[in-house]
Structure 1
């Protein structure tokens, strides 16, 4: 009788992978589970080197390597969504290194890891490096799936948000319009991925001064997300915030105030009072109140109001998970 190969690290990775929710962004119902699992994921993946070395041979090792990189990637996404990009970065870098060692430089899973690491670098303000990674991810994804695949649309959308931050609005607009066309063809006009594209395109049009069209797209994005998620979802909070800033630019300050106050309440309930996004909402509310002449804001130091791009949570990893 042959005794099967056994590795406690591989077993721990497999069990954690079976318990960990795949979707992070836009899935607040799963965050408490991740909060519980996170320290165990960090402990289990800490036993694995950047080459994914395990004592198991063959298929057992390959599966464990996939589970390790997946867990690192998802843990990084959880930390990023909760305003901890500095902690997320080394996890995402390890996930990328493991995938490159396991699959080579041009595998779709490497493209996914590149795109997700780029999210984190964007949050850290490292735009040039974020752009380089997403451009590489786009080339890999287009070669693997073809130019009209929804995964390509997701990477295009993510690259467009970086270009928007860099002020390259014409290129950002072109990429977002392409992502929107891909997603509408793949999912239909009322899918949340379409809402993300509409939200991002509305931000670009706002920056270009095309406020009427920006408002129309932002209102459509809000309607899609409210229908898909309900009235109190974090993505709805993002939509409300961004629509409020368009209304501010249009001079509709009372409505802008109402929307950003609702966005603030949703965001505080989802993330807690100390999350960076709550700070953004508070700042935006302060700007609008100042514009309304609220005496409480007189002399207060406020920053330029900030909209918030929608981002695809992750590019689907070909060997592990389908798009969510």
Structure 2
């Protein structure tokens, strides 16, 4: 049953996976006891399915329970305990609770170094997780430092074409991309993509991810044709390999739509974004974070066409749902506020736009910090709006 649930999980069939995992968990509790290692694994599996559905609170409750039992039953430095701590930290990260995530990830990393060794695969994972939190906080230097260390250690320990090595190279490339270091990102992403094709196959999910990452770097440089060619290939392969409603397929469709939008091909972008949004609502639920992202993307396409009313309706819904689902201070909620402010500004509602962006910025300074890229960008935009210099600023979406 657990194996079948894992198969459903890999296919993005969360509801079917959840039903089986809940049954496995309850039977394990009765048959083996709540603190049996197999029971703890079944609880963690169910938490992972909740996590993929954006049900952070339910995932957190289960992960806290697994962590506490593991500490008592196995010890604070047992590898399974450290894994449970890393899972909980990942849930904190998804909720924008970066300080709590960082504290756990630092503890896991240091304990792993002492208990397992600096070059142990689990230690490498813990370092990568901490780097991911640094990246979310916009702390590029710290993220890059860890990612370089992980990449070089994996090359030595596992080999240059090992899947884990390729993942670490992709993570470092993402940090380069976030800093606008396109050439360095592109070099790594090309290497990852070509190695993945040879090592894993052209239609392997990891290969498709690497192609999508390279396309994103092309898009950021305005190389639309190159981005589009890759994204079309990823989308079509994902449909065949994973299914038309798989979350990864929907992501690939959203990426292609973004490239269309950047080229001013509104109709093509809108058609894809509508399909992604409706499928996400059915597959993941109306309040799933991925569904909210798809709604925000469609609103952006409406905004670009001057369809302010349609954009506003979607952005208001995204903002209110985000407040309820993720919390008023979640980074995604704050971005939805900024997007709505940009729509109001574009439609001539200057006072409302300035007021909303000012409130958003105050929260971003508190939650993200003054040096975070989103905070800095919105601060500059707000200053320009208040000076009323008529400059046209692009929304971060």
Please tell me the TM-score bracket, short chain as reference.
Answer: 0.7 to 0.9
**Matched residue of 1:200: which SS?**
helix
Q: In terms of mean alpha carbon deviation, does 39-48 or 91-100 score higher?
A: 39-48
Which digits, 9 at most, give the CA deviation of each residue in 1:227-272, with x for residues without a partner? 3332223222321221111112233210101212333345556375
Q: 2:109 maps to what in 1?
A: 45
Distance 2:155 2:110 in 1: 18
Q: After TM superposition, give the deviation of residue 18 of structure 1 in Å.
A: 4.4
Q: In terms of mean alpha carbon deviation, does 166-175 or 68-77 score higher?
A: 68-77
What is the correspondence of 1:160-175 to structure 2 with a 5 Å cutoff?
Answer: 160-175=215-230
Max radius of gyration: which structure? 2
- Taking structure 2 as the reference length, the TM-score comes to 0.63
Q: Does 1:21 pair with 2:21?
A: no
Cα contact 1:20–1:33 (8 A) shared by 2: no
Q: In terms of mean alpha carbon deviation, does 94-103 or 28-37 score higher?
A: 28-37
Q: Does 1:211 pair with 2:266?
A: yes
Of structures 1 and 2, the one with the larger relative CO (CA 8 A, separation 6+) is: 1
Q: Does 1:305 pair with 2:364?
A: no
- Which 5+ residue runs of structure 2 have no aligned equivalent? 1-75, 355-383, 387-391
Q: 2:64 maps to what in 1?
A: none
**Matched residue of 1:300: which SS?**
helix
Q: 2:308 maps to what in 1?
A: 253
Q: Does 1:91 pair with 2:146?
A: yes
Distance 1:23 1:160 in 2: 29
Q: After TM superposition, give the deviation of residue 44 of structure 1 in Å.
A: 4.4
Which digits, 9 at most, give the CA deviation of each residue in 1:116-154, with x for residues without a partner? 222222223222222222111112211111112221111
Change in 2 beyond 3 A, CA 1:80/1:258: farther
Change in 2 beyond 3 A, CA 1:111/1:305: same
- Taking structure 1 as the reference length, the TM-score comes to 0.76
Q: Does 1:284 pair with 2:284?
A: no
Q: CA-atom RMSD, angstroms?
A: 3.4
**Matched residue of 2:326: which SS?**
helix
Distance 1:175 1:101 in 2: 31
Q: After TM superposition, give the deviation of residue 29 of structure 1 in Å.
A: 9.4
What is the correspondence of 1:198-237 to structure 2 with a 5 Å cutoff?
Answer: 198-237=253-292
Distance 2:89 2:272 in 1: 26
**Matched residue of 2:237: which SS?**
helix
Q: Does 1:187 pair with 2:277?
A: no
Q: Does 1:109 pair with 2:199?
A: no
**Matched residue of 2:286: which SS?**
coil
Change in 2 beyond 3 A, CA 1:264/1:131: farther
Q: In terms of mean alpha carbon deviation, does 201-210 or 281-290 score higher?
A: 281-290
Cα contact 2:112–2:122 (8 A) shared by 1: no
Q: Does 1:71 pair with 2:126?
A: yes
**Matched residue of 1:182: which SS?**
helix
Q: Does 1:264 pair with 2:328?
A: no
Q: In terms of mean alpha carbon deviation, does 66-75 or 223-232 score higher?
A: 223-232
